[in-house]
Structure 1
Amino acid sequence: MTTAHPLRVCVAGAGAIGCTLAARLAASGQPVSLLARGAALAAINEHGLRLADLDGEHQVMVRASDSPAALGEQDVLFLCTKAPALAALLPTLAPLMGPNTVVVPLVNGVPWWYFHGEPGRFAGSRVEAVDPAGVLTQALALERILGCVVFITAEVLAPGVVRASNPHLMILGEPDNSQSPRLQRVCALLAAAGIEARASERIRDALWTKIIANLTSNPLSVVTGATLAQLYGEPELKAVVSKVFNEALLTAAAYGARVAIDPQSFMEMGAGMGAVRTSMLQDYEHGRPLELQAIGDAVVELAERQGLAMPVTRDILNLARFRGQPSL
């Protein structure tokens, strides 16, 4: 990150967020490598990436491969996979790593690095729900990680074809809340691609805002099939969402997070996102694994450490897990 050459940037994962990020970067003139596989890899190599967002239609070519060794050493690596895929993915990424490679996970829910760089009685702790037996911590040095919270809503229409209907926002921060040169450089990289990138001195505040947004919407969307507009706008669903919101907000406060949003504004913002189906609902509809561990179980685990109960959240997670069983 300190050399003068143009940044070597790789996006790992060709889902909705990965394709959106890679397309925006490539459209800005930034060379991008994309780690993909299967139908997405074939489509991207043949037709490029296609993104429709608020700025219009973008079709760009990127260097795509399913082999980290073929892509080589990178300066910045964006991890854009689902949380359940990380345990299998991280050990394969060694060929992408140089001595100063920065890894930016764009993953929903409580991150496995949550307590890295955090002082206090939980310093150095592990969140078992997202890093059982420390598999992720062992696979990737925590010092490489730059925290990131993604506020991008996107949907895959076909392999390599994505639609994003809201503004792009990413909040980044060092796990120890320092203002580092690498933080500023990654923010500048994203800003040049037309993505609003904010450098935070309290990354976990933004993290908890996103955790609460995910927790109040994703599992309940699987149970109900509702869009964001319905979850946060229909009276029957708002009543349930409010209970989950309060349970999560209390947990966030127990960890010192400052979530600067009131319940009414939160509901209005959620409803204003429109007829968007959550990523978890999309995964459910396509028979893919649900991110319940990172989005739900990890929050419950953190609450338990503080002696807090989350009864409504637990019930909804159980219902979503039941619905997500492969046989149903």
Structure 2
Amino acid sequence: MKLTILGAGAIGGWVAARLALAGHEVSVLARHPTATALAGGITVVERGKEQVAHPDIATDAASLGPQDILIIAVKGPGLADAAQAARPLIGAETLIVPMMNGVPWWYVDGAPLISVDPTGAIAADLPIDQVIGCVVHAACRRPNPARIEVAMLDSVLVGEPSGVMSERASALGDLFREAGLAGEAVPDIRRAIWYKLWGNMTANPISALTLATADRILANGETRDFMLRCMAEAAQIGAAIGCPISESGEDRLMITATLGAFKTSMLQDVELGRPIELDALLAAPLEIAARVGVAAPNLAALHGLTRLMGDSRGLL
């Protein structure tokens, strides 16, 4: 099969390298500076083992043509541009796999989510009947464009947006698992997306506001209590849309604590002056909350504060 990864960040580079090391025909579509940096390969460090993969590196989507699988591993603010750039890669049978944080554009039935796809351009460029939902439970660092360090790998979950188990989703899960990506097809990818969001929709913005690593955030009693109030609201929204969460907030924070002094992706973006993916993490959940009539004052306050910070720093 022909596979292309659009977005060569920490997650995209890791996935590209693992698939290439497994023997697949893998291309990475990147901008010229990144393409130059990747010319000598991508080094992956995982569990003390260092390997170098050599996927094809391209800067022009038209030169690659339609793919069997297109993995889009960009952050929310870059998705519209990425979807437009991906057009030459998408044929009638291409599977489109967005590997992104937060609420995707296809998440709810009915009216589109204005917060993540205000013009409908993303939905137009990425046909929903070709999309496979994806949730990545992994933590990767990228000290330089050609080196990926895997701090934690739990699972890479895939599933149909419709909630049915399909042969193509099962095959994709197998493909990821055999490449060392802990792939698994699940029947309800929407619920899996909300579960991950439940944890990082608070930790990410709070770290961006405070410039603190996760261990310091959890050690502060007032901050921890605020996180738990936000998580309780997010759980209520999830229950209202058929994505209930059985764990308590304290249970989830115990898992976060095992990662130690790590920097969330949003904190890394703030430090590097990159746009923050606030809309998919907070604006979209609040839009959904308004639709289903769930009050979320703590999430709204967190969103407002983070948006003001991002605007002040030019990160929106």
Range class of TM-score, shorter chain: over 0.9
Equivalent position SS for 1:132: coil
CA distance in 2, matches of 1:60, 1:102: 23
Question: Which of 258, 267, 271 is the matching residue for 2:257?
Answer: 271
What amino acid does structure 1 have at the position aligned with 2:22? S
Question: Which of 33, 44, 49 is the matching residue for 1:51?
Answer: 44
2:15 counterpart residue number: 21
CA distance in 2, matches of 1:61, 1:221: 35
1:119 counterpart residue number: none
Does structure 2 conserve the Cα–Cα contact (< 8 Å) formed by 1:170 and 1:198?
A: yes
CA distance in 2, matches of 1:126, 1:72: 29
1:97 counterpart residue number: 90
1:82 counterpart residue number: 75
CA distance in 1, matches of 2:26, 2:149: 19
Question: Which of 31, 34, 57 is the matching residue for 2:28?
Answer: 34
Equivalent position SS for 2:152: coil
Equivalent position SS for 2:192: helix
Does structure 2 conserve the Cα–Cα contact (< 8 Å) formed by 1:13 and 1:81?
A: yes
Change in Cα spacing, 1:202 to 1:252, as seen in structure 2 (3 Å) is same
Q: CA deviation at 1:164?
A: 1.6
Does structure 2 conserve the Cα–Cα contact (< 8 Å) formed by 1:111 and 1:294?
A: yes
Equivalent position SS for 1:136: helix
Does structure 2 conserve the Cα–Cα contact (< 8 Å) formed by 1:233 and 1:271?
A: no
CA distance in 2, matches of 1:166, 1:43: 25
What amino acid does structure 2 have at the position aligned with 1:85? G
Describe how 1:174-213 pairs up with structure 2 within 5 A.
Answer: 174-213=160-199
Matched, 1:286 2:272: yes
TM-score using structure 1 length: 0.92
1:4 counterpart residue number: none
1:70 counterpart residue number: 63
- Size of the aligned set, in residue pairs, is 314
Query: Unpaired segments of 5 or more residues in structure 2?
Result: none
CA distance in 1, matches of 2:131, 2:67: 14
CA distance in 2, matches of 1:225, 1:38: 31
CA distance in 1, matches of 2:209, 2:117: 26
CA distance in 2, matches of 1:280, 1:73: 32
1:156 counterpart residue number: 142
1:227 counterpart residue number: 213
TM-score using structure 2 length: 0.95
What amino acid does structure 1 have at the position aligned with 2:112? R
Q: CA deviation at 1:100?
A: 0.6
Change in Cα spacing, 1:231 to 1:198, as seen in structure 2 (3 Å) is farther
CA distance in 1, matches of 2:167, 2:241: 27
Equivalent position SS for 2:261: coil
Does structure 1 conserve the Cα–Cα contact (< 8 Å) formed by 2:228 and 2:250?
A: no
Does structure 1 conserve the Cα–Cα contact (< 8 Å) formed by 2:61 and 2:85?
A: yes
Does structure 1 conserve the Cα–Cα contact (< 8 Å) formed by 2:282 and 2:303?
A: yes
Q: CA deviation at 1:233?
A: 4.1
Equivalent position SS for 1:157: strand
Deviations 1:118-175 (A, max 9, x none): xxxxx33211100102121112211110011111111220112121201241111101
What amino acid does structure 1 have at the position aligned with 2:163? N
Does structure 2 conserve the Cα–Cα contact (< 8 Å) formed by 1:231 and 1:241?
A: no
1:244 counterpart residue number: 230
Does structure 1 conserve the Cα–Cα contact (< 8 Å) formed by 2:65 and 2:88?
A: yes
Equivalent position SS for 1:258: coil
Q: CA deviation at 1:312?
A: 1.5
Q: RMSD between aligned alpha carbons?
A: 1.5
Deviates more, 1:145-154 or 1:90-99: 90-99
Question: Which of 110, 114, 125 is the matching residue for 1:124?
Answer: 110
Does structure 1 conserve the Cα–Cα contact (< 8 Å) formed by 2:133 and 2:160?
A: yes
What amino acid does structure 2 have at the position aligned with 1:277? K
CA distance in 2, matches of 1:203, 1:260: 16
